[in-house]
Amino acid sequence: MEPVHVAIIYYSATGTIHTLAQAAVEGAEKAGAVVRLRKVAETAPPEAVGVRPEWERHLQDTAGVAEAGHDDLEWADAVLFGTPTRFGNPASQLRAFIDTTGPLWFQGRLADKVYSAFTASNTAHGGQESTLLALANTFYHWGGIIVPPGYTDPVQFRSGNPYGTSHVVGDGPPGEVALQAARHQARRVVDTAAALKARRAA
C-alpha cells in the first residue's frame, strides 16, 4: 500500500511550535508516513515583528521552510496543525491560511481526512484546550476525522493534555516529555490514517 501522506502545517513566531512540529515529523516518519512540513505565511507587519528580536530571528531561521498551500491539504491523508495560543485561540496567521480553504471545502476535498492539533501557551491555564477545541470546530465543518492523543500512551500522563500536545513556554523550551508527546500524537494520527487508507483501498 502507498504510505500515508501527512502534512504538518504550523505557525510559530518564536520557535516553540516549530520545535514541536519537528518532533511530529519524526513521529510520523518513524510510523512510516511521507511527511510535508509546512509553515503558514507571516501576516504581521515588519514593524510588529521587528520589536521582538526572537520573532525576527525565527522568521529568518525558517526562511527555507516551504509555505503551506492547498495542494498540501489535497495531497494529505492526515493533517496535523500547530499553533501558539493567542488569547485562548489559534494564531491569526494559521486562521488566515485556513480561511482560504473555502473552495476545497465546498468541493468536499477536505472531508474524510484525519486531523489533529498541537499548541503552546505561556502559562499552564493560558488557553491550550480552548485553542485546540477552536481549531477542531473547523475540522467538524470539513467533515474530518479528529484524532486526539487522549491518554493512549504513558507519556500522556506526564504531558497531561488529551486534546493535543501542548507546551507551557514559561517552563522553558519543549523538553523530552513534550517532544515525546508530539511524536506519539503523530504516530497515532498515522496509524489511524493507515487503517482508513487500507480499508478504502480494499
Which grid coordinates are listed for 154? 504513558
Query: Rounded to 5 degrees, what are φ and ψ at 74?
Result: -65, -40
> Nearest 5°: CA angle at 74, between 192 and 135?
65
Is residue 23 involved in binding ligand FMN (CB under 6 A)?
A: no
In the complex, minimum distance from the CB of residue 126 to ligand FMN, in angstroms, rounded to a whole number: 2
Site map (CB under 6 A) of ligand FMN, residues 79-98, x = contact: -----xxxxx----------
Neighbouring C-beta atoms of residue 137, cutoff 10 Å: 10
Q: To 10 degrees, what angle do helices 16-30 and 176-201 make?
A: 50
In the complex, minimum distance from the CB of residue 193 to ligand FMN, in angstroms, rounded to a whole number: 25
Residue with the CB atom nearest ligand FMN in the bound state: 126
Q: What is the DSSP string of 29-48?
A: HHTT-EEEEEEPPP-S-HHH
Is residue 15 involved in binding ligand FMN (CB under 6 A)?
A: yes
Which 106-135 residues touch ligand FMN, going by CB under 6 A?
Answer: 120-123, 126-127
In the complex, minimum distance from the CB of residue 16 to ligand FMN, in angstroms, rounded to a whole number: 3
Is residue 181 involved in binding ligand FMN (CB under 6 A)?
A: no
Task: Report whether 40 contacts 82 (CB < 8 A).
Answer: no
In the complex, minimum distance from the CB of residue 89 to ligand FMN, in angstroms, rounded to a whole number: 8
* Interacting residues with ligand FMN (CB under 6 A): 12-17, 84-88, 120-123, 126-127, 169
